Homo-oligomer: A and B are copies of this chain.
Amino acid sequence: MNTETFSISPLGYLATPFADKFGIPRQPRLAPHAIGTLRLLPPYDRSEAVRELGSFSHAWLTFIFHQTKGKWQPTVRPPRLGGNTRVGVFASRSPFRPNALGLSLVELAGIDTHDGVTLRFRGVDLVDGTPIVDIKPYLPYAESVPDAAGGFADASPPSLAVRYEERAIAQLSVALRQHPQLARLIDEVLAQDPRPAYADDPARSYGVRLYCYDVKFRVAEGFAHVDAIDLVG
């Protein structure tokens, strides 16, 4: 039995549009309008610590799956296999793993070192408040392997077109004043069909929380229909 342990501490907490887990893109970069903001905590909040980071277009975020409470099992059921085939936890990117470490490739969107250090990333797939424990530059010459075999996740998932119902259009026009990128973000998030893999009831309504909005939608005939964009508490 293994008892050696190492301690890690957040560099900061990523602010994202995803108020809860449901609807989060299943991989980073599927939703380029999902912007995450990371303010580095002391003692990491020094401009020198990110010097030259801006010369890279992409970065790896290593983070903690902080909502999993340390639970894991030897096998998991990835959504890509319809949610009913079990694969080994180490053959998956499941959050429920022995060490709750996550890895996410994001685009660098901006670095502000005017008052402390604030980093902006494009295409985040993390819930609001995720603890970030490392930032590393992406090295295309070493880490881009286009001909690698991707097993059961070998291709991009199929995507849905998005249609707005009348009420949603009216609500969207108000919401856009506050969040100009909301329409595109909704399109990107719903395009990847966030429903559980085993569900396919065209009458069933789902809600995705983006910023302070509850985006209500149904999926029917290859379209995601947005019924409402309600402000929530």
Contacts and interface: CB of A to CB of B under 8 A. Distances in A.
A190 interface: no
A56 B141 contact: no
Contact of A10 (B4, B27, B103): B4
A145 B142 contact: no
Interface in A86-126: 86-93, 97-101, 103, 105
Interface stretch (A15-23, A129-137, A161-169): A129-137
A233 interface: no
Interface residues of A, number: 76
A156 interface: yes
Contacts of A101: 8, 62, 101, 133-134
B140 A147 contact: yes
Contacts of A57: 145, 148-149
Given A42-B2, A75-B51, A90-B49, A142 B8 contact: no
A43 B90 CA distance: 13
Given A55-B91, A60-B103, A146-B146, 14 more contacts: A2-B9, A6-B7, A6-B131, A9-B99, A29-B142, A51-B86, A51-B87, A55-B151, A56-B91, A57-B149, A58-B149, A62-B103, A101-B134, A144-B148
